[in-house]
Amino acid sequence: MNDTRSKFPAHKDAKDNDYAIPFSSDIKFNMIMRDMEKQEGGLCVFLKGAPERVLRRCSRILVQGQEVEFTQELRDEVDKANSDFGKLGERVLAFAKCHMDPSKYTKDYKYDTKTWKEWGLATDGVTAESYANVEGSFPMHDLTLLGVVSLNDPPRPRVDLSVNKCRSAGIKVIMVTGDQPPTAAAIAKKVNIIKHEGQLFNYMVGELGMKEDEAFEKSTGIVVHGDLLAKKIQEQKDLPAEDPTKGDFL
């Protein structure tokens, strides 16, 4: 591994800092730029992080060593693998890359890894061409998916017993996690936070086709994605305090 890193070093700025975007809980991925001159030439962006954040930035996928279009059929296949791993309680990471045009993205180019969110954060309807003329920008879209990897990160011993003790004392246990919903549900089941998988709101709606209102009445557990929670809170934050719909989602 150290030999590979030495062969393809991280690209650095004039102050010897890596051109990189560190992982954070809001973006759920990290980026590093490496010098691939000894193999493929030029610089290359590498992205690693939560599948739901990385996949939407990919327009191509590596299949048997060849980059091909990331078609809906291939997306469905990747999504199924991601979901299957998640349902086992595995933590899943997606990896992507983009080789940059050496005629434009030279080693002397000033890459914007500080205020990149101004041009590179959005994903809906955005392509690398959308911001190609922005000073300091570099491809954060139209990446090539390299694959997904699952990691086994089991709960600590006796957490399930602690959850049972809390429940017997009348305490409602809520789990907050950075994992994607299938993984979160599987881990919550392992530690007794979800007691009846068949009565999970997400299962009743997604697998049984039950209407949301009916499922909510009958369910004993629910997994809420942080993106949805943030969206709903943003929509309702400016409502008057006396508005009965303010905070109703939460």
Q: Quick: pLDDT tens for 141-180.
A: 999 999 999 998 888 999 999 999 999 999 999 999 888 8
What is the CATH superfamily name and number for domain 2-152? Calcium-transporting ATPase, cytoplasmic domain N (3.40.1110.10)
Q: Is 32 exposed, middle or buried, given 0-12, 13-18 or 19+ CB atoms closer than 10 A?
A: middle
pTM of the model: 0.79
**Would you give the end-to-end CA distance of the chain in angstroms?**
46
* Residue of higher predicted confidence among 95 and 203: 95
Q: What single-letter DSSP state applies at residue 148? A: E
Helix/strand/coil (H, E, C) string of 158-217?
CHHHHHHHHHHCCCCCCCCCCCCHHHHHHHHHHCCCCCCHHHEHHHHHHCCCCCHHHHHH
Q: Quick: pLDDT tens for 219-241.
A: 988 999 888 888 888 888 888 88
Contacts of 233 (CB under 8 A, 6+ apart): 249, 250
Tell me: pLDDT of 39 over 80: no
| Ramachandran angles phi, psi of 194, nearest 5° | -100, 115
| Ramachandran angles phi, psi of 21, nearest 5° | -115, 115
SS3 state at 30: strand
Q: Kindly list the domain boundaries of the chain, sorted by start residue.
A: 2-152, 159-236
- DSSP bridge partners of 63: 66
